[in-house]
Structures are given as structure tokens and as C-alpha cells.
Amino acid sequence: MKDKFGSEICIYCNKAPAESRDHAVARNFFLVERRDRLPSVLACMRCNNLKSKLENYLMIVLPFGAKHHDAKRNLEELVRPRLENEWNAKLYRRLQRDYERSGGTSVSFNHRPLIQLLSMIAKALAFQRFNVRLGDGFSSTAAIFIDQATSPFEQMLAIGNRVNGDLGQGTFKYVGSQPGKYPELTLWRFEIYGGVDFAGSKMQGGRASLTMAATGENQVIRNMFYGTQMMDRNIEKSVGRNDPCPCGSGVKHKKCHGSVEKKEARERMQAQARANQFPPSVYQPPAAHGYGPGQAAEMRRYIHEIFNR
């Protein structure tokens, strides 16, 4: 394996020797006939295994909010077999329980695997589309925003070099830009399964389906990641002064984003994030789209059948 990839190193961690070729967006997100020409990068076994774990959860849960033309086929051909696998029995029971508790209107959703996966995909696409490897001093992050934030993000994406991609005929779309301040700075907007809604219309600010990612200098990315993490009330309450900072710096919270001198800047950042950012760990509604009369109702009936078999 070592000879096969020579001295190449993993595109995700940029440290360990490459041991496999990994699709930036896993093949199993797509129907069989939609898997041609998917971008791939070299990865170490550790990053490959981590990414596979994230993908397994998201391959099952995201299609319940799908709105593209393959929505029902994804549930039937990809999701149902995974839910029938004994390895996913615990996840199935949790989804079934939360679906019943919601009165058949939504399924539960954990945002953290999506944030982690999109951060990794951003690294892969930065390398694939802009030939940029994130070395020491650079990293990536991602977040989900309410759709009202689309306009300012579109303005940022319009700056510098811009690329577009459509993988699997609408299964996974992306727009990326490289503003030009430095090569490692890239911005990405993703559309998964036609634009999955992660929260209902009753959420303050309305619909939330805007998924964004960025790569750049560690300090900038850590500030962004910290703002994302501290939107989660459970995390905010659990972080002590001597605990590692949620930004990932490895420094104690009191000496990093929890320091007194950074308090005002942190509060300004959080206030700005709350204006647009999606509150994590809420419900993802079953798909409702308008590809034809009655199709939304048909999707709901099919989802109801999955959870009541």
C-alpha cells in the first residue's frame, strides 16, 4: 500500500501517509447509475474511517429531507436496506421514536456529523478544484444557516475564482470561490439532495437549508468554529474554564476564546452568528417538494411506511 502511493500524504489531516483513494462525496450517497466521475483524493486510514462513520449516519438521515427528483428512490433503494442492517438498529429505533413523537412530521437530526463531513469535503474540493493543500496553520469548518443569509454569502462567493459542480444529476451540488487574499482561503456553498430543510417554518428566521464551508488560517477558522459550537446550549453549559477550548486549538478555554480580553469580541461574533445561523440539534422534516401534484403526500406516506413496518 505504501509503495502504491509513494510519499503522498493524506489530504484531510496533511500528516499521515496516504493509504487509500477516497471519494470527496461518498459513492453510496448516489444511486448506482449516478456514481460516474466523482472527485477523489488520497487519504490515510484514520481519516478514511472517520469519514466513513460520518457518512453512514448522514446517508441514512439526510434522504428523509431530500427534495430532488431521486428522493423516493433514495429512500427505497439506499436508506431502507441500511435501516434493515443490524449495525444501524439503534439509529433506526431513535429515528422511529422521534418520528412518532413529532406526530409524523419530522425526524431527529444531529448536526455535528454534517459539520464534520462538510469540513472534510471542503478540504478535498479545495485540492481538487484549486490545487490547494491545507498545510500547517490552515484548517476548515462548516455551518448551516437560515436561507435569509443566502444573499450576503452569494456576494462573497462572487469574489475571485469561482467553480461549480453538479454530482449525480442534482444529488450533490456545490459552488466554490477563492477570493484571492491567499490561496488557502476558499468558500463553499453546498446543496444536498435538492436542498434539505433542517428546521421547520416555525423556526425563527424561517427555512434553513443553506450549508456553507470555508478553509483558511487556523485563527479565522477557529473563531468561526467556536461561534458555531457555542450556538449549542449543551456545549455552552458544559465548557469549564480549564476544559479544552471548543475551537479546537488545544489550549484551555480560559486562555483561548474564554479569556477576559476576548469576551467582547466573542459576544459580538455570537450576536452576528445568531442573526443568520441555524440553531443545531433540531428536527429535520420529511421531504416536501413540488415535482408533481401529490408527490409530497406520497413521500410522507412512504416515510410513514418505513417507520411503521
Strand partners, 186: 215
Pick the range with the lowest mean pLDDT from 20-24, 53-57, 181-185.
181-185
Residue 289 belongs to some domain of the structure: no
Residue 158, C-alpha cell as written in the block: 462572487
Q: Is the pLDDT of residue 296 over 80?
A: no
**Is the pLDDT confidence value at 136 over 70?**
yes
Mean pLDDT of 133-159: 87
- Going by DSSP bridges, is the β-strand pair 161-167/283-284 parallel, antiparallel, or unpaired? unpaired
pLDDT at 71 > cutoff 70:
yes
Q: Which amino acid is at 109?
A: F
Residue 181 grid cell: 487574499
Residue 261 has pLDDT above 60, yes or no: no
Alpha carbons 151 and 226: distance in angstroms, whole number: 23
Q: What is the mean pLDDT of the chain?
A: 83
Judge whether residue 1 has pLDDT over 70.
no
- Report how far apart, in Å, the C-alpha atoms of 199 and of each of 56, 76, 220 are: 21, 23, 27
Comparing 95-104, 156-165, 171-180, 267-276, the range with the smallest average pLDDT is 267-276
Q: Between 290 and 277, whose confidence is greater?
A: 277
The pLDDT value recorded for residue 201 is: 47
Q: Over 80: is that where the pLDDT of 107 sits?
A: yes
Grid cell of 69 as nine digits: 427528483
Residue 263 has pLDDT above 70, yes or no: no
Instruction: Please report whether residue 214 resides in a domain.
Output: yes
The number of folded domains in the chain is: 1
Domain residues for 180? Answer: 111-276
Phi, psi of 101 (to 5 degrees): -65, -30
Residue of higher predicted confidence among 201 and 265: 265
Lowest mean per-residue pLDDT among 1-15, 121-135, 154-168, 266-280: 266-280
153 falls within a domain: yes
The letter for the amino acid at 227 is G
Residue 167: inside a domain = yes
Does the residue 47 lie in any domain?
A: no
Can you give the three-state secondary structure of the chain, one letter per residue? CHHHHCCCECCCCCCCECCEEEECCCHHHCCHHHCCCCCEEEECHHHHHHHHHHHHHHHHHHHHHCCCCCHHHHHHHHHHHHHCCHHHHHHHHHHHHHHHHCCCCCEECCHHHHHHHHHHHHHHHHHHHHCCCCCCCEEEEEEEECHHHHHHHHHHHCCCEEEEEEECCCCEEEEEEECCCCCCCEEEEEEECCCCCCCCCCCCCCCCCEEEEEEEEHHHHHHHHHHHHCCCHHHHHHCCCCCECCCCCCCEHHHCCCCHHHHHHHHHHHHHHHHHECCCCCEECCCCCCCCCCHHHHHHHHHHHHHCC
* 108: CB partners within 8 A, 6+ apart: 94, 95, 98, 99, 283, 284
Does this model's pTM top 0.75? My answer is: yes
Average pLDDT over residues 31-54: 96
From CA 235, how far away is CA 53, in angstroms rounded? 22
In a domain, residue 52? The reply is: no
Is the model's pLDDT at 266 over the cut of 70?
no
Read off the pLDDT of residues 190-236 as tens digits, 9 standing for 90 and up.
999 998 888 754 544 567 888 999 999 887 777 666 655 555 555 55
pLDDT digit string, tens, across residues 147-198: 877 888 888 888 899 999 999 999 999 999 998 888 999 999 999 999 888 8
Rounded CA separation 254/45 (Å): 34
| Contacts (Cβ under 8 Å, ≥6 apart) of 139 | 215, 216, 218, 221, 222, 248
